[in-house]
Structure 1
Amino acid sequence: MSRYRRPFGSPPDGEGRPWQRGGLFATVWILFLLQPLGAAWQRRDSLGGWVGLVAVLAFAAVYLRFFYAVRSGRWTARTPDSRLAATTVTLEIALGVVMCLSVGQTGTAAAVYTCVTAIMAFEGRLGIVLAGTIAVTTFAATVLVPGWSVDAGLLVAMLAASMAIWGITRMLRANAELQLATNDNQRLALSEHRNRFARDLHDVVGHSLTVIALKAELARRLVDTDRDRAIAELDDLERLSREALDDVRRAVEGYREISLTGELARARLALQAAGIETDLPEPAHLGTVPDDLAELFAWTLREGVTNVVRHSDARRCTVTVRSTSLRVADDGRGVLDVGGAGASPTSGSGLAGLSDRAAAVGAMLSTRALSPGFCLEVSRP
């Protein structure tokens, strides 16, 4: 079902009172049919009078049914169903003719309502042409039908009502389209926020849990052979756990920030805990990295080192940082098995999120197999 379509007969969500006011307005306006209704009542002693009464009441019912239908169907955002529109206009024209035949010229009051219905029912030129045709035909009848008087006021009323409804419907439809566009933008913003949060949470929790698991495993192996070293590893484990908890809290609060210097220190600890030889740049050599790339490089370093520790079985990891690029290389298996057997080097939500971060600052993420090993690199031309 299109977002422009609602089932007919039920008020729009959250708009009960305006919808009720619109229905009340239409009901009050229908009182202008009292004149042909009175004329029919005066002729109730004849068959024509009763036919006129039924025609007037039926016309009022058709008009109100149409108004309530399009009102509940958000006619401000779209035109009504074409079948409903054609049926309603046809019925109103037919009933208007019966009214004129039964009660005379007073039955032409129905033409104003029919013009309004045509404008509401058909969008664009079709509604205007149809309303204009009804107005001209009705005015011509007041000129040509014997015994009828020329009624220029009726012509003005038909044209004025048509123009007023045309302007109102255009304005309301434009406002409704604007509201729909605003709702779409809000949904896209919410989706982007969720994606960013999921990406940050993956990056934070994935790396932290990897290091914590390695530290715990190392402490367990050392507890019987080197108690002092095991206690030191447990101290690191406690510190890393608290840092991970703080990271998660900051991610939840939307203030997640990391530094390249801090990630170098984390990378050194993680690689050493995994027994992987490291070749990392000194923090003093990072001053040439632009500010808008520093955070991207920090995330890249975190993701790259996490994958090396988890998946590579490498003996050595080398990190190279330049002003516009960062490279994480290892001498391991050469393929990141992040999604099970046969996974490609670019699979996994971590690298997908990293690619999004790179694109946001005009950089590009690339991965390639080495001989032996694997390389993850982010760079900006």
Structure 2
Amino acid sequence: MSEQRTVPNPGRLGPLFAGIWLFFLLNPLLEGWSHRDEASGVVGIVATLAFAAAYMSLWLRARADRLRLIESPPLRFSVPYLVVLVLLGAVMVASLGESGTAAIVYVAVSVVMVAPFRVAAPVVVLLVVGSLALGAVEDWGSQVSLAFGVMAASVAVFGMRAVMRRNIALLQAEQENASLAVENERTRFARDLHDILGHSLTVITVKAELAQRLLDVDLERARAELADLERLSRDALADVRRAVEGYRELTLPGELARARVALAAAEIDARLPNSTDEVPSELRELFAWTVREGVTNVIRHSGARVCEVTLSPTTAEVRDDGRGPSSSGSGSGLNGLRERAGAVGATVVTHALEPGFSLQVVRA
């Protein structure tokens, strides 16, 4: 089931502001009250109150639809309301005379509020012409002010709808972008988690099967396999925890996965190891920094066509066939890498190749 999209935190004063405009129905109400002893006055009062209720109901429904990012209410809902408003307005005019024509302005506003422009515009024109024609009724006088009121209110609501239409489009675009961002993050996380765990879990399974077979054949080797199995499990668990925490810490499998994507985007042939199992736990983060720094320099500065990463229990190397760095290995990234390497008793070694450049982190 698709999630219903809505405008967050809608204002609660909207109905109050809309209700204020019902002030202009006071004139027909007072006219009906002044003739409350006559049937026409009672009918006029009832029709006016019913008209106000129908108008507010339509306005509230249109507002609720726009809060759900629906630009126009469905016709099966709005047309009956418009028909009711027209009939009640006709009763107001018939029972209250000229004061009942105030309903025409509300009818025009209601049509503009719920109908498409191509429908609302001709209806408004007809209502303006009809208002002017009412000036021919005896003793009513000119209805230019009524026609102007219909036109001014309709133009104002047209403008409001245009603003709301743009706001709805912006909200829909923002929500679509947010949904795409979440989906992209899920895809990226699934891909990285697969790269982090795929090989490790396979090796763990193979080693567990081997250790089980060796228990009755070579107990010492079985113990060695089980110890290696424990180390691999702990490393895999640490990598997963770091990934779930939002990549606040580097992981060697994660950096290799991101290096593969970055090199492919830079159209550089990536030759990366498929396994990090032989790297000791205490060197995995350092080697992850080595991969990040080395691959970043290859992409930014080398102009290389090929980048190769090699790992061993004591060494991590990033090499390329480009023109080498623009400086002699004195950048802030390499300085930071030297500090991290020194903290675990390793050294950073850089040297030029023919062609290319090599960045190594070695612990003797």
Give the shorter-chain TM-score range.
0.5 to 0.7
Give the corresponding residue for 1:54: 46
Q: Following the alignment from structure 1 to structure 2, what is the Cα–Cα distance between the partners of residues 296 and 119? A: 64
Mapping 1:272-287, distance limit 5 Å: none
Deviations 1:70-101 (A, max 9, x none): 11222763211212222222222222222122
Relative to structure 1, is the Cα distance of residues 296 and 120 closer, same or farther in structure 2, using a 3 angstrom cutoff? farther
- Specify whether residues 90 and 265 from structure 1 end up closer, same or farther in structure 2 by C-alpha distance, changes over 3 A only: closer
Give the Å deviation of 1:164.
Answer: 0.7
Aligned to 2:328: none
8 Å CA contact 2:111–2:120 kept in 1: the answer is: yes
Q: For each residue in 1:156-191, what CA deviation from the matched residue of structure 2 results, as whole angstroms up to 9, or x when unmatched?
A: 221111111111111112211211221122112212
Aligned residue in 1 for 2:120: 127
Matching residue of 1:114: 107
Question: Is residue 77–residue 177 contact of structure 1 (8 Å, CA) maintained in 2?
Answer: no
2:54 paired with 1:68: no
Q: In the alignment, is the contact (CA less than 8 A) between 1:36 and 1:106 conserved in 2?
A: yes
Indicate how the Cα distance of structure 1 residues 297 and 185 shifts in structure 2: closer, same or farther if over 3 A, else same.
farther
Structure 2 gap segments, 5+ residues each: 248-253, 260-269, 280-294, 310-319, 322-364
Q: 1:84 aligns to what?
A: 77
State yes or no: 1:102 paired with 2:95: yes
Determine the structure 1 residue equivalent to 2:158.
Answer: 166
- Which residue matches 1:350? none
Amino acid at match of 1:129: P
Q: 2-side partners of 1:4 and 1:131: how far apart?
A: 33
Report the Cα offset of residue 148 of structure 1: 0.8
In the alignment, the residues of structure 2 paired with residue 65 and residue 141 of structure 1 have an alpha-carbon distance, to the nearest angstrom, of 28
Corresponding residue for 1:263? 273
162, 178, 188: which one aligns with 1:186: 178
- Mapped to 2, the partners of 1:3 and 1:166 lie a distance apart of 30
Q: Assess if the C-alpha contact under 8 Å between 2:232 and 2:277 holds in 1.
A: no
> Relative to 1, partners in 2 of residues 1:217 and 1:90: Cα closer, same or farther, differing over 3 Å?
closer
Paired residue secondary structure (1:146): coil
* CA offsets 1:293-314 (integer angstroms, 9 cap, x no match): 999998xxxxxxxxxxxxxxxx
Contact 1:219 1:230 in 2 (8 A): yes
Question: Which TM-score applies when normalising by structure 1?
Answer: 0.63
* Cα shift at 1:110: 0.9
| C-alpha deviation, 1:262, in angstroms | 7.0
Aligned to 1:203: 195
2:108/2:127 contact within 8 Å kept: yes
Please tell me the residue identity of whatever aligns with 1:117.
S
Measured after TM superposition, the shift of residue 231 of structure 1 is 4.1
- Which residue of the partner structure matches residue 28 of structure 2? 36
Q: Tell me the residue number matched to 1:241.
A: 233
Distance in 1 (CA, whole Å) between partners of 2:52 and 2:118 is 26
Matched-pair contact (CA < 8 Å) for 2:40–2:95: yes
Please say if residues 77 and 172 of structure 1, whose CA atoms lie closer than 8 Å, have aligned partners that are also in contact: no
Alpha carbons of 1:157 and 1:60: their partners in 2 closer, same or farther (altered >3 Å)?
Answer: same
Identity %: 41
Structure 1 contact 223–230 (Cα < 8 Å) conserved:
yes
Instruction: Flag the 1:251–1:124 CA change in 2: closer, same or farther, 3 A.
Output: same
Tell me the number of residue pairs that the alignment of Structure 1 and Structure 2 aligns. 276
Please say if residues 139 and 155 of structure 1, whose CA atoms lie closer than 8 Å, have aligned partners that are also in contact.
yes
Q: Is the 8 A contact 2:272 2:308 kept in 1?
A: no
**Over residues 317-346 of structure 1, what are the superposed CA-to-partner deviations in whole Å (9 max), with x where a residue is unaligned?**
xxxxx99xxxxxxxxxxxxxxxxxxxxxxx
Q: 1:240: how far off?
A: 1.8
- Picking from 224, 229, 242, the partner of 1:250 is 242
CA shift in 2, pair 1:216/1:89, >3 Å: closer
The TM-score with structure 2 as length reference comes to: 0.65
- Deviation of residue 227 (structure 1)? 4.8
Q: Which residue of 2 aligns with 1:26?
A: 18
Distance in 2, matches of 1:4 and 1:128, equals 31
Q: Which residue of 2 aligns with 1:303?
A: none
The answer to whether the 8 A contact 1:216-1:234 is kept is: yes
The answer to whether structure 1 residue 213 and structure 2 residue 205 are counterparts is yes
2:134 aligns with one of 130, 138, 141: 141
Distance 2:91 2:211 in 1: 97
